[in-house]
């Protein structure tokens, strides 16, 4: 009797509300603690949200005065509504029309990305004759906060081999081999180093560059594709920022690719799914926790800011002293030996062109903030070291560093201010340096006599 007097309808409603609030508060607290753990990832967040949703219903089902059928009906209706919403956004992923890994920029091995195919030697190849439409921000801004961001767009169509060439280019005087500097997704087709070189030498040039490739993959490209163009010369662009790292990682990555098995529909769909990739995006640290942009920015004489995510090595500055260790150079020498032999067998001249990191080119042209670590980043003599390895293998060597430094000092930016890659001007400067070297060799050897011997005609790809 006393209990019924104490537990009035109003107090009973208040008790239910407090119980619900306390329970939901506990659920939210534990969910937050789970996703804040150091090794939590998107899958943990997805599982936590599902469990939290079910847990949130527990007091509702336990304390409500609905009939059992009413409780089940309300739970089913709410759950079905949420599931229907997810079905709408997940259907394109299930059908393979949208890959949410690209939408949310989920870190993914290149051989598993949409538009690529796994390859036992190249690790991955691009699907042929596809249209690439990409939008991205400069890589030097990753991990920085308060930096103005520029969005770069690339809209290009690949050739029948999956490279960035005009349709129908079946023969070329020169082939270019390399990584993202040669593929040049940051610039338009007409601004590529291959297009600029074709204008300079008034002869067709084939672009066999591919983003993410290292020396071993580039050697495979040379052996598999270069001879088909019937070229007289091959120019191999070696990027100091990560090519030695790529060379070290190649064998392990090759083993992973060769061990791949066809994925089930369920596994492939989940990899592309909205839920997985949105959760992963939410779990990634945001720019609010990043390094202040001013600490990684150098200012040129005209106050233009140039951002640096790394020095001459894409990784810890401490690794610069160790990157040219003997075992790494021995692997590089083996690659150059094989490339030289392949070119000799096909009657091609081979030149290795050294691509310096942006920091090597701009360090002495920039003023840095007092709190910036950039001035203390070490700079080694990798151009001289790689040049020695190339010459020991009997390969011609062209260091692009002096040319790019001179152009950077004299005029427009040769690297993008917020990215590690060349600007359109950088592609033009590199093409001019390569054309000069090809012209010198052509006059000396009696080959490629058109190179740099007459003014450019504006043709980007004359077909033979």
For helices 243-258 and 326-345, what crossing angle results, to 10°?
80
| Nearest C-alpha neighbor of 440 from the set 356, 432, 407, 192 | 432
Question: Quick one: pLDDT at residue 453?
Answer: 39
Buried b or exposed e, range 241-265, using 16+ CB within 10 angstroms: bbbbbbbeebeebbeebeeeeeeee
CA quadruple 98, 104, 110, 114: dihedral, nearest 10 = 10
Which residues, including other chains, have CB under 8 Å from residue 410's CB and lie 6 or more apart? none
Which residues, including other chains, have CB under 8 Å from residue 51's CB and lie 6 or more apart? 31
Residue that is written with structure tokens 């409603």 in the block:
13
Residue that is written with structure tokens 């007091």 in the block:
59
Give the separation between CA 189 and CA 176, rounded to whole angstroms: 15
What number of other Cβ atoms are within 10 A of residue 378's Cβ? Answer: 12
What number of other Cβ atoms are within 10 A of residue 190's Cβ? Answer: 12
What number of other Cβ atoms are within 10 A of residue 330's Cβ? Answer: 10
Domain boundaries along the sequence of the chain: 116-261+288-445
Label the pairing between strands 349-355 and 233-239.
Answer: parallel
| Nearest C-alpha neighbor of 441 from the set 147, 153, 235 | 235
Which run of H or E residues covers position 55? helix 42-63
Q: In this structure, which topology does domain 116-261+288-445 adopt according to CATH?
A: Rossmann fold (3.40.50)
Q: Phi and psi (nearest 5°) for 59?
A: -65, -30
Sign of the four-CA dihedral 170, 173, 178, 184? negative
| Nearest C-alpha neighbor of 210 from the set 136, 138, 119, 271 | 119
What number of other Cβ atoms are within 10 A of residue 73's Cβ? Answer: 12
Quote helix, strand, coil % in the chain, to nearest 5.
Answer: 50, 15, 35
Which residues, including other chains, have CB under 8 Å from residue 93's CB and lie 6 or more apart? 99, 100, 269, 272, 273, 274
Give the separation between CA 421 and CA 184, rounded to whole angstroms: 8
Question: Quick one: pLDDT at residue 137?
Answer: 85
pTM of the model: 0.85
The encoded tokens of residue 271 equal: 């990899």
Sheet holding 174-178, edge to edge: 205-209, 174-178, 233-239, 349-355, 396-399
Give the separation between CA 128 and CA 110, rounded to whole angstroms: 16
Structural contact between residues 449 and 442, judged by C-beta atoms closer than 8 angstroms: yes
Question: Quick one: pLDDT at residue 66?
Answer: 84
Per-residue pLDDT of the chain (464 residues; tens, 9 = 90+): 455 556 677 777 777 777 777 877 877 877 777 767 777 788 888 888 888 888 888 877 777 778 888 888 999 999 999 999 999 999 999 999 999 998 998 999 999 998 899 999 999 999 999 988 888 888 888 888 888 878 888 889 999 999 999 989 999 999 999 999 999 999 999 999 999 999 999 999 999 999 999 999 999 999 999 999 999 999 999 999 999 999 999 999 999 999 999 889 999 999 999 999 999 888 887 655 678 889 999 999 999 999 999 999 998 999 999 999 999 999 999 999 999 999 999 999 999 999 999 999 999 999 999 999 999 999 999 999 999 999 999 999 999 999 999 999 998 999 999 999 999 999 999 999 999 998 766 555 555 444 443 333 333 333 33
Q: How many CA atoms lie within 13 A of 5 on its CB side?
A: 2
Give the separation between CA 190 and CA 354, rounded to whole angstroms: 23
Tell me how long the chain is.
Answer: 464
* Complete DSSP assignment for 361-393: HHGGG-EE-TT-SGGGS----HHHHHHHHHHHT
| Nearest C-alpha neighbor of 229 from the set 204, 195, 192 | 204
DSSP 175: E
Structural contact between residues 196 and 431, judged by C-beta atoms closer than 8 angstroms: yes
CA angle 416, 193, 329 (to 5 degrees): 85
Question: Quick one: pLDDT at residue 442?
Answer: 58
């Amino acid at each position: 009797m006393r209990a019924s007097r104490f537990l009035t309808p109003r107090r009973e409603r208040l008790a239910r509300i407090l119980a619900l609030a306390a329970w939901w508060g506990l659920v939210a607290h534990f969910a937050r603690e789970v996703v804040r753990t150091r090794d939590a990832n998107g899958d943990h967040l997805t599982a936590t949200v599902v469990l939290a949703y079910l847990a949130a219903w527990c007091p509702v089902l336990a304390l409500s005065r609905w009939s059992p059928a009413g409780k089940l009906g309300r739970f089913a209706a709410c759950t079905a509504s949420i599931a229907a919403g997810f079905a709408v956004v997940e259907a394109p992923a299930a059908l393979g029309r949208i890959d949410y890994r690209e939408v949310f920029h989920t870190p993914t091995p290149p051989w598993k990305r949409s538009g690529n195919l796994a390859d036992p030697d190249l690790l991955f190849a691009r699907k042929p004759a596809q249209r690439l439409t990409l939008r991205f921000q400069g890589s030097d801004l990753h991990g920085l906060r308060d930096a103005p961001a520029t969005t770069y767009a690339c809209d290009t169509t690949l050739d029948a081999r999956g490279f960035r060439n005009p349709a129908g280019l079946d023969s070329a005087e020169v082939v270019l081999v390399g990584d993202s500097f040669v593929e040049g997704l940051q610039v338009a087709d007409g601004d590529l180093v291959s297009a600029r070189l074709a204008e300079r030498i008034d002869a067709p040039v084939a672009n066999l560059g591919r983003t993410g490739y290292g020396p071993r993959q580039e050697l495979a490209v040379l052996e598999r594709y270069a001879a088909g163009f019937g070229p007289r010369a091959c120019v191999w662009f070696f990027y100091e920022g990560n090519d030695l790292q790529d060379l070290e990682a190649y064998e392990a990555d090759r083993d992973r690719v060769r061990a791949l098995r066809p994925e089930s529909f369920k596994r492939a769909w989940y990899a592309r799914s909205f839920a997985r990739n949105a959760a992963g995006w939410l779990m990634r640290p945001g720019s609010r926790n990043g390094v202040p942009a001013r600490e990684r920015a150098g200012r040129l004489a005209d106050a233009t800011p140039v951002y640096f995510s790394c020095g001459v090595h894409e990784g810890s500055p401490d690794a610069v002293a160790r990157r040219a260790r003997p075992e790494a150079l021995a692997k590089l020498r083996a690659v150059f030996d094989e490339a030289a032999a392949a070119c000799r067998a096909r009657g091609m001249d081979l030149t290795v062109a050294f691509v310096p990191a942006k920091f090597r080119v701009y360090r002495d042209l920039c003023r840095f903030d007092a709190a910036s670590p950039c001035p203390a980043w070490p700079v080694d003599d990798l151009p001289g070291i790689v040049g020695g390895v190339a010459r020991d293998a009997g390969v011609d060597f062209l260091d692009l560093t002096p040319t790019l430094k001179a152009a950077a000092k004299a005029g427009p930016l040769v690297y993008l201010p917020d990215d590690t890659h060349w600007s359109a001007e950088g592609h033009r400067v590199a093409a001019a340096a390569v054309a000069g070297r090809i012209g010198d060799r052509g006059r000396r050897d009696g080959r490629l006599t058109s190179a740099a011997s007459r003014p450019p005609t504006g043709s980007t790809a004359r077909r033979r």
